[in-house]
Amino acid sequence: METIALITSFVLILIGLYGILSQKNILKMIVGFSLFDTGLHVLIVTVGYIRGGTAPILDQVTGTSNVSDKIVDPIPQALVLTAIVIGLGVTALMLAYALKMYQEKQSLDIRDFKELKW
Amino acid sequence: MDFISPINVVAVSLGAAFFMGLLGKKAQTVSYILLLGALLFNTIVSGQWLYGLATNIIDAQQVYTAGFRPPFSINLLMGLDEAVITTLVNIVGLLGAIYMASGLHKKGSGSQVVYLVLIMSLNVIVLSRDLFNIFVFLEVGSIATAGLIIMQKGINAVSAGFKYMLATGIIASIMLIGVIFIYRFTGTLNLDFVMQSHPVLKQGALISSFLILMAILLELKPFPANGWALDVYESAHPGISAMLSSAVATANLFVLYKFTGMAGESLMYYISLIGLVTFVGSNLLGINQTNARRMLGYSSIGQIGLLVAIIGLVPHSNANFKLIFIGILTGHYFAKAGLFWIAGIVKAQNIKEWSVLRNRPVLLFLFLTFVLALTGFPPFPSFWGKWQLVMGLSQQGQIAAVIAILVGSFFEVVYLLRWAGYSIKLEPGKLPEVKLSQFIPVILFGLGIYATGYFVSQATNFGDTINYIPLVVVAILLVVDFLPAYIKNSLSILATGWFAYLLIPGQDTLKLVFTVIFLVGGILTLIPGFHVKGKRAGFYPSAMLMFGGLALLIEAENMLQFFFAWEIMTLGSYFLIIRGKESMVHAFSYMLFSVGGAYLILLGFGMVSVGNTGLSLNLLSQIKFYPVLAMALLAVGFMTKTASLGLHIWLPGAHGEAESDVSPMVSAILLKAGVFGLVLLMLAAGGEYNNYQGLFYTLGWIGALTALVGNLGAVFQEDAKRLLAYSSIGQLGYILFAFSIMSQLGWLTGFTYTINHFMFKAILFLSVGGIVMRLGTHNMYEMGGLIKKMPFSFIAVLIGIITLAGIPPLSGFSGKWLFYNAVIMKGWYFQGAIIFFAGTIAFLYCFKLIYSIFLGQLKDNHRNVKELPFWYLLPQYILILGIMVFSAKPDLILKPLGTALAAAFPSNPLIWEGTKALSQLGYWDATTIMIVIGTMFVILLIWLMLMSRKAQNVKQFNIVYAGERPERPELTHVSHNIYAGYNKALGFLVAPGITGFWNYATNLVESIGNFTRRIYSGNGQSYAIHLVSYIVVVFIIYISSI
Amino acid sequence: MEFTVSKILWTLLGLFIVLNWGLIMGGTMRKIVARVGKRYGIPIYQPYIDLVKNYSVRSQITHGVMFYLGPVFRLSGGVGIFLFLPLIFGSDHWSNFSFSGDLILILYFQFFGMLGMALGAGEGGHPYSAIGVSRGLSQFTTIEVPMTLAVISLAVQYNTLSISEIVAAQQGGLANWTMVTNPFATVAAMLSLLGAFGHSPFDLVKAPNEIPIGPPTEYHATYLGVLRTNAAILHVVEAALFMNLFFGGATNWFELILKTFLIYFWSVFVGVVFPRFRIEQSVQWFLKIPLILGIIAIIVVL
Amino acid sequence: MKMKETDNQNKFLHEDIEKREVIAPDGSIIEIDPMQDYFCDARPQVSEPYKIKVVEKFLNWARSESIWVLGFGTGCGSIEIPPLMTPRFDAFRYGVQMRPTPRQSNAFIISGYLSVKTLKRVIRSYEQMQNPKYVLLWEVAPLTAECIGTVTIPLTGSICICRSTCTLPVACRAPKLYLPGL
Amino acid sequence: MIRNFFIILIIAGLAGVFVSLFWEFGASDTLTPLATHYANNGAAEVGAPNLVTSIVVTYRGLDTLGEVTILFLVAAIISFFLKVEKKGQKMAPPRVSSEIILTASKLLVPVVLVLGIYVFVNGHLTPGGGFQGGAIIATAFVLLLMANPRFELNHRIIAAVESVSGMAFVLVGVLGILLAGGFLDNKILPLGHFGKLFSAGAIPIIYSLVGLKVGSELSNILSNFQDVQKDEL
């Protein structure tokens, strides 16, 4: 089960990256970027998967004794929370940049912003 | 005193940040004060810890969060390293905030919050021991930087910001993948526990640790994949780029240093390789830069590359890794921040417009301090760092790495010194108004760099043996630079006298000769300075820097002292030479050759120290590691200073264009420093029975050919000072040849030539310099007939050329006689013949010099030229006295020299019977010759006076002119191209072959640089592609090697 | 070797003899050249008359101190070489002050005279004298090359630089003259002798051509007299130097006179036959055959 | 010669000789008067002959025996001078020598016509010769024919004007006639 | 074309990296020692049923602090980056949104708000927490903005809420040092009964503060974007 999830996450990451590198339009690059991030988050969660484990919430199902062999690994889920927020932050900032660049040059093609070179 | 726990840095900063957010737009000044308060608090905390840990009142302390022990919660460690790094970061943060006061004010509380959070995140990165936590705060730092980049308005900043976001986004994700898989394979996120579980062993963990390290390396902008960083340096607000290049880079470097624990041996090797490639590559590209900030970007990337290489190369275990790292880091840290701040003040994009700094001498001085600190010159920390690095690496036998580092730093010297040259010499425009808040941080960092320089020097081994008195004298002269020239002149003469008083008594004879030349010569060449009116700013500190360097050179016992003195002397002479009107280009080429030579010497010392402990100079005699190569390197290094064949093209320009009292200093005294080095080298090579016969044979040939080329070059010169400069090359060729004969007679010849060259070259340059000052022109064909106006300088020049040509009564002949005996006894007949041929050519240009200046027709506009000022004539006549004494009683100097040399060169010494010198071949009695010639001359003079009736004085046009009336003095004075026939015969020897070679070499380097920098095409996406492909390439190389 | 009065007197006497012999030799040589041209030629004692006439000229001018000192330098150059050259082998009287310096001293002392002449001519203010001087100096640089090589090979062969020892080594018959033992050096030296004397192929400096007579144009009256006396002494002494080095030195005055005459005759003989060289031809000529001969001379002796 | 209207005193002066201002290297203006600064107009100081007759007689003998000639070859006479150096008319045996520079020569042969244009050169070379000096004027032509007749050559010292009776055209003058003159 | 081919080549390379990671992966059946510790005595030490929340808020509190600063940063940057001088020039007439959104927004906005508040209030009990609750609240605001573009969000209040909750969060952290074991320790308040609303020490307070902060920041960002768009029309 987790191998399928892992493969999908890797594939998502690669597609996202391909999107970033090949698309000329900045907004499409940002979309590629968010794709890349979601792939990453799926990867993080799959890493924490334990066969036969349930959500790491202590309730009637898990009871309070030897919980460790019933639940899924909670740490990646905590980390993914932070990763998602970072992804959000970066995408928001990139959109702001895209907006500003459009205001400056009325074009969203990355190739038009080549003043700084050599 | 109780130590505030480091966690408060986070708490206070965030509290302040959130509070500022609350204040909103209105209360700008309140939030700015709050910002400064928070930054001050951070600095105090880290400063307190640094003080505590340095004086080990307290030892390293773990700070636990959330009340649990590390593997279960995040912990921060405050050790000595962390304390140092955090203090550095906080200081530059505080001063940066002060510098950007106006910028931050205008932008409102938003940017102040972002700035404060950036500094806080850097602190946490350094302190935190948890992988994921470091990742999070790295992200906080990069977003904050992206935010601060936009502070600068304009399309450049926005596009640079976007490229930055793209790159850091990808890097962050790579790191996140690495962190997650490290957790998956090692089961923990805490750095110490990860290291305990040795990630290198398990395959998966190996790759994930590779990914993490790769991310950190990319964060440090490795060479091909750092286009995005360059754009940011160029377009961001200078204050921000200062932050980037000093604070952010320092923190990231420390993180890399922390993570190397989990990298295996081969990965460390690749890290050092990446570092070296970055250092050499970015410095090579820096050469063609004309935009100041972009050039600073290249240089900071280069320096960071060097630091990465150090982390890779030098095993963390050995003691002085920390010293090297701190030395070079502080050098880069202070200099880069300072330079970016000055860039902010000067606001000029093109490096040529930086001569604006000349309106503000203090700012210019600081600018030069930072440039020199970057290039690794003595009093600054990076000099000690680089010295310790080269020594350490050569001890480990990594000579290739040392060569790469030296080549890289040579490229850096090329473009930085060119920039310094522009700022000193070009026409100054109007300097924009400098706000106080911008000025204080630059001054504080200037002082900081000198202080750290001193501390780092005390920490290097043998560093404490360095004598700092000369530098103190220079500092005093700098402070007192507003005084009129004659006070400063007497001050510096007193100081040189004091050095001489310290050094001369009790010095062994060989060194005594050089001490007298350096210091007494220094006093003599300083005397003309009394003639100068006005302030003559900047002259006396550089003069004392040179003479101080020379004094230190003599009293140096170990290699470090020698190299320290060598660099100080080069520095001083550079600032002296560049004072001439058009001498910017020549001073630059002089500096390149000297720095190249200095690096060869450094490499040589490195190879000498292999297999030996300690640094004392007599290690030169027990070289175990490729002795001939080491000796050759050192010899070539010294020969750049004595301008031997191939390395001589800088001398005519440098000495020809220098000021009238600088050229005697530089050519009569400074060239002897190279000779002093060679003497030490050859003595250490084992005197007569050394095993470097092949090397000294080639040195002999080089000396002979230099003499020929130098003298031939002088014959066809039209510029008086260039003629003398070429003749110095020739004379130095003699000296090099004489010393490489490696026999007692050879060395006596060498010493005689050295003393003679010092005396007559000083006389010639002083008088010609004075004449050039009086007449305002260098060209000899515009002079003529000055004997009637300047009889005294005529006599001086006459005695000068008699000694130069080696005509019997005077001491020049002693050199020639000794030379003849040495050559015949040694058996180097053909070189001897070449040198003799060069000697006769010397006679040619001596006649040209004295004829075209003093004899012939007096020109119209020189009719009421006055005699040379008294201050110019006094040293000349003291030197003439010296020549007379040395010619009448040569045994005064040669006898003690002979006994001193007997130790190193026992076979066939020079025997003295009273004043008569007997060698195996012939005999020579200077005093009798002097008496015989003197009396004969007088008798014949009386005979002529008796015979001739009262001779009637006539004016200058009463000459046999085939019955015609001479038109004008200019037309009846033949001196332009006077040796046309000779030129037709032997002119081909003087073709500028060697200058052609050096031009070719520079063009080659520049074209490579130009070609490779094309990869930064400006397209953000291509930068991202470079990034990803860089990761893949390094991965493939890394995996294939395991 | 100290300065006893008798030593000085003997030296002065030697100088007088050499001066007279120089003048007579000059006269005879010019007579021979005339006779070669089927001319009756000047009387032998003509140089004396010229000398007396020059010294007795009634009016005189000077262009400055250095102009005045030029001839003095020149004459002291000639006399100096005489003083340091041991003329007659074996006799204490006639070895002058040669105890104070060896062959190198004499080699370098030639510059002394040339320097004086150059500066004097320069002070004269005449533009062409400077050109004459520059030609003379540039010629002299390459003239000395074969001479040096010859001297070096001599020094190596006899393992000494002092002239009296070289002469001592050549005593005892023709067999052990340097001419026989080291022929290449001798030929090279004799070729450079041509240049040193300044006769025909290399007399560009003083020959009457476009720059009147080169450096001495401005000199007249007593200066000319002094220059002439020096010319006389210099020829004899230089010939004597070559005699000592290559032709076994002289044990008595007669032998000295004969040999110096022959050596001087050699350069005049060549002078009469060959036309005058231009400056670059003469400079390059000395770097061709004489140089090769010199190198062979050294290789032979190695 | 550029004519200067104002001051007719030096209207014949070449512009090199006129007064001129020149800027010295230190900027001050220097007033140059070539006539005073470059040319010396003092009379030559000739020392009187020795008192003791014998010495003077001996010196005169020596002077007569070695006469150094400065030839001023103009007109028909000059072709006669070179044969003096040939075997047939060998002047050398009388101590006569041709000297190219006036400084060193005693006799000054003007062997042809003497026009005004060349007069300047003659006077200058004559002045550059040292006393005692003699001038040998060959044949009347230089005195009467072309020149204006009032040629005042400051002929001092013993002058020997040799009047040649031969009025035949140029060819007839023969080198051997020089010899008695000298 | 070559450029795309080159990009595909690099992507393949990166895939290779991931494949090498993938080989080693192999899902495990047991928790890592760290996770087992959290699982077994998480409840005892922190007293929050939702283990993820206990890790996020207490065990790795510093990360969350970092989280919050990131959001705060982005909000601050966007506010001064896109600051548009409101010179009050005449706005273009807004496009009236469709009927469905208008009525739906009137109904849904309060419900969504209550749901958001519920989520972040008992973040330590049920799945979810501060960030998720904040996001939900932000959706409510988006819905409002979509409904009538002229809706003028009062920036003053939002900024005030943001910074107050941030400062409170830091204050709680500092209290952790003074009263309890370390920075951000939640035992400054009694752990209370397991499973109850007011239990697990300071977690609920921290998480609700975080929820408020995230909600206000996200809406602040969105409204900024909206203002800039407004001028465009």
For residue range D50-88, what is the model confidence (pLDDT) as tens digits?
Answer: 788 888 888 888 887 888 877 777 766 677 777 777 777
Q: What is the mean pLDDT of residues B702-720?
A: 90
pLDDT tens digit sequence for B503-549 = 888 888 888 999 999 999 999 999 998 888 888 888 999 999 999 99
Report chain B's C-alpha Rg in angstroms. 33
**DSSP class per residue in chain D:** ----SS-GGGTT--TTTS-EEEE-TTS-EEEE-HHHHH---PPP-PPPPPSSHHHHHHHHHHHHHSPEEEEE--GGGGGGSGGGGSSTT-GGGGT-EE-SSGGG-SEEEE-S---HHHHHHHHHHHHHSPSS-EEEEESSTTTSSSS-S-------S--EEE-----S-GGG--HHHHHHH-
A118 neighbourhood in chain B, CB within 8 Å: 288, 1013-1014, 1016, 1018
Place of tokens 């231009």: C278
Instruction: Tell me the pLDDT band of D138, cut-offs 50, 70 and 90.
Output: low
Count of Cβ atoms closer than 10 Å to residue C275 Cβ: 6
Residue D155 clears pLDDT 50, i.e. is over it: no
Residue of chain B whose alpha carbon sits nearest to that of A77: B180
Residue of chain B whose alpha carbon sits nearest to that of D100: B962
Task: Looking at mean pLDDT, say which of B242-246, B620-624, B910-914 comes out highest.
Answer: B242-246
Are D107 and D142 in contact by the 8 Å Cβ rule? The answer is: no
Q: What is the mean pLDDT of residues C108-113?
A: 86
State the residue range of the domain holding D142: 68-181
pLDDT tens digit sequence for C48-79 = 888 888 888 888 888 888 888 888 888 888 88
**Domain membership flag for residue D57:** no
Residue of chain D whose alpha carbon sits nearest to that of B776: D25
Distance CA E228, CA E222 (A): 10
Residue B278 clears pLDDT 60, i.e. is over it: yes
Are E76 and B147 in contact by the 8 Å Cβ rule? The answer is: yes
Residues in Cβ contact with E57 at an 8 Å cutoff, skipping those fewer than 6 apart: E48, E64, E124, E129, E184, E186, E203, E206, E207
Residue B721 clears pLDDT 80, i.e. is over it: yes
Are B823 and B759 in contact by the 8 Å Cβ rule? The answer is: no
Instruction: Tell me the pLDDT band of D148, cut-offs 50, 70 and 90.
Output: very low
Q: Which of B138, B173, B1016 to mutate to test the interface with A (most CBs of A within 10 A)?
A: B173
C36 φ/ψ angles, rounded to the nearest 5 degrees: -60, -40
Are B242 and B334 in contact by the 8 Å Cβ rule? The answer is: no
Q: What is the mean pLDDT of residues C41-52?
A: 84
Q: Do chains B and E touch (3 or more CB pairs under 8 A)?
A: yes
**% helix, strand, coil for chain B, step of 5:** 75, 5, 20
Half-sphere exposure of A96 (CA within 13 A, CB side): 30
pLDDT at res. D77: 66
CA–CA min distance A112, chain E (Å): 17
What is the overall mean pLDDT for chain B?
88
| H-run or E-run covering A18 | helix A2-22
E76 neighbourhood in chain B, CB within 8 Å: 21, 110, 113-114, 147
Instruction: Tell me the pLDDT band of E27, cut-offs 50, 70 and 90.
Output: low
Q: Do B963 and D121 touch (CB under 8 A)?
A: yes
E184 neighbourhood in chain B, CB within 8 Å: 65-66
Q: Do A17 and E14 touch (CB under 8 A)?
A: yes
CA–CA min distance D148, chain C (Å): 31
E211 neighbourhood in chain A, CB within 8 Å: none
pLDDT at res. B88: 93
Query: Which of B66, B110, B204 lies closest to E21 in CB terms?
Result: B204
pLDDT at res. E89: 54
Structure tokens that stand for B484 in this block: 């009129």
Q: Do D38 and B949 touch (CB under 8 A)?
A: no
DSSP helix/strand/coil, B767 = helix
Paired with B916 in beta bridges are B913, B925
**Domain membership flag for residue D19:** no
CB contacts under 8 A, B 647-706 vs E, are none
Place of tokens 């007193």: B494
Instruction: Tell me the pLDDT band of B415, cut-offs 50, 70 and 90.
Output: very high
Distance CA B505, CA B512 (A): 9
Q: Quick check: E51 contacting A, CB < 8 Å?
A: yes
Are B915 and B942 in contact by the 8 Å Cβ rule? The answer is: no
CA–CA min distance E120, chain A (Å): 14
Q: Quick check: C152 contacting B, CB < 8 Å?
A: yes
Q: Which of B61, B73, B128, B181 to mutate to test the interface with E (most CBs of E within 10 A)?
A: B73
pLDDT at res. A51: 82
Name the neighbours of B, counting chains with at least 3 Cβ pairs within 8 A. Answer: A, C, D, E
Q: Do E35 and A3 touch (CB under 8 A)?
A: no
Q: Do B964 and D121 touch (CB under 8 A)?
A: yes
Dihedral sign, CA of E65, E71, E72, E73?
positive
Are D18 and D10 in contact by the 8 Å Cβ rule? The answer is: yes
pLDDT tens digit sequence for B57-82 = 888 888 888 878 878 888 888 988 89
Distance CA B579, CA B575 (A): 7
What is the overall mean pLDDT for chain A?
87
E188 neighbourhood in chain B, CB within 8 Å: none
Q: Among B200-204, B899-903, E159-163, whose mean pLDDT is lowest?
A: B200-204
Query: Which of B176, B1014, B1019 lies closest to A40 in CB terms?
Result: B176
pLDDT at res. E88: 52
Query: Which of A79, A110, A118 lies closest to B1020 in CB terms?
Result: A110
**Domain membership flag for residue D50:** no
| H-run or E-run covering B61 | strand B61-64
D27 φ/ψ angles, rounded to the nearest 5 degrees: 95, -15
**Domain membership flag for residue D36:** no
pLDDT tens digit sequence for B149-176 = 888 888 888 889 999 999 999 999 999 9
Q: Do B11 and E59 touch (CB under 8 A)?
A: no
Distance CA D70, CA D111 (A): 11
A37 neighbourhood in chain B, CB within 8 Å: 173
Q: Do C219 and D45 touch (CB under 8 A)?
A: no
Are E66 and E184 in contact by the 8 Å Cβ rule? The answer is: no
Q: Do B158 and A24 touch (CB under 8 A)?
A: no
Q: Which of B177, B181, B1022 to mutate to test the interface with A (most CBs of A within 10 A)?
A: B177
Q: Do B843 and C133 touch (CB under 8 A)?
A: no
Residue D135 clears pLDDT 80, i.e. is over it: no
Residues in Cβ contact with B538 at an 8 Å cutoff, skipping those fewer than 6 apart: B361, B481, B575, B579
Q: Which of D47, D92, D105 to mutate to test the interface with C (most CBs of C within 10 A)?
A: D92
Distance CA B244, CA B168 (A): 14
Amino acid symbol at B166: L
Q: Among B38-47, B316-325, D5-14, E29-38, whose mean pLDDT is lowest?
A: D5-14
Q: What percent of chain B has pLDDT over 90?
A: 38
DSSP helix/strand/coil, B805 = helix
B834 neighbourhood in chain C, CB within 8 Å: none
Q: What is the mean pLDDT of residues C227-238?
A: 88
Place of tokens 């702001």: A96
Give first-to-last CA distance, chain A, whole Å. Answer: 50
CA–CA min distance B798, chain D (Å): 24
Instruction: Tell me the pLDDT band of A118, cut-offs 50, 70 and 90.
Output: confident
CB contacts under 8 A, C 196-225 vs D, are 208, 212-213, 217-221, 224
**Domain membership flag for residue D60:** no
Task: Looking at mean pLDDT, say which of B110-114, D154-158, E91-95 comes out highest.
Answer: B110-114
Q: Quick check: A19 contacting B, CB < 8 Å?
A: no
- Cis before residue D49, ω within 30 degrees of 0? no
Name the neighbours of E, counting chains with at least 3 Cβ pairs within 8 A. Answer: A, B
Structure tokens that stand for C115 in this block: 């320097």
pLDDT at res. D167: 31
Residue D180 clears pLDDT 50, i.e. is over it: yes
State the residue range of the domain holding C129: 5-301
E55 neighbourhood in chain A, CB within 8 Å: 74-75, 78
Paired with C250 in beta bridges are C88
D47 neighbourhood in chain B, CB within 8 Å: 949-950
CA distances in angstroms from C239 to A80, B750, C256, listed in the order given: 108, 34, 9
CA distances in angstroms from B392 to B303, B398, B781, B883, listed in the order given: 19, 9, 57, 48
Cα angle E109-E114-E118, degrees, rounded to a multiple of 5: 150
Paired with B64 in beta bridges are B75
Q: Which residue has the higher pLDDT, D125 or B98?
A: B98
pLDDT at res. D172: 39
Cα angle E56-A66-E38, degrees, rounded to a multiple of 5: 20
**Domain membership flag for residue D138:** yes
CB contacts under 8 A, C 48-77 vs D, are 49-50, 52-53, 56-61
Q: What is the mean pLDDT of residues E166-186?
A: 83
Q: Quick check: A61 contacting E, CB < 8 Å?
A: no
Q: Quick check: C294 contacting B, CB < 8 Å?
A: yes
**Domain membership flag for residue D98:** yes
pLDDT at res. E232: 53
pLDDT tens digit sequence for D85-120 = 777 777 777 777 887 788 888 877 777 666 767 777
Structure tokens that stand for B585 in this block: 């280009």
pLDDT at res. D144: 43
Residue B982 clears pLDDT 90, i.e. is over it: no
Q: Which of E18, E59, E206, E218 to mutate to test the interface with A (most CBs of A within 10 A)?
A: E18
Structure tokens that stand for D120 in this block: 């300047």
Distance CA C103, CA C100 (A): 11
Domain with residue D87: its CATH number is: 3.40.50.12280
Q: Specify the pairing of strand D29-32 against strand D68-72.
A: unpaired
What is the number of structural domains in chain C? 1
What is the number of structural domains in chain D? 1
DSSP helix/strand/coil, A58 = coil
Residues in Cβ contact with A56 at an 8 Å cutoff, skipping those fewer than 6 apart: A71, A72, A73, A74, A77, E39, E50, E51, E52
A29 φ/ψ angles, rounded to the nearest 5 degrees: -65, -40
Nearest one of B377, B126, B145 to B255, comparing CA atoms: B126
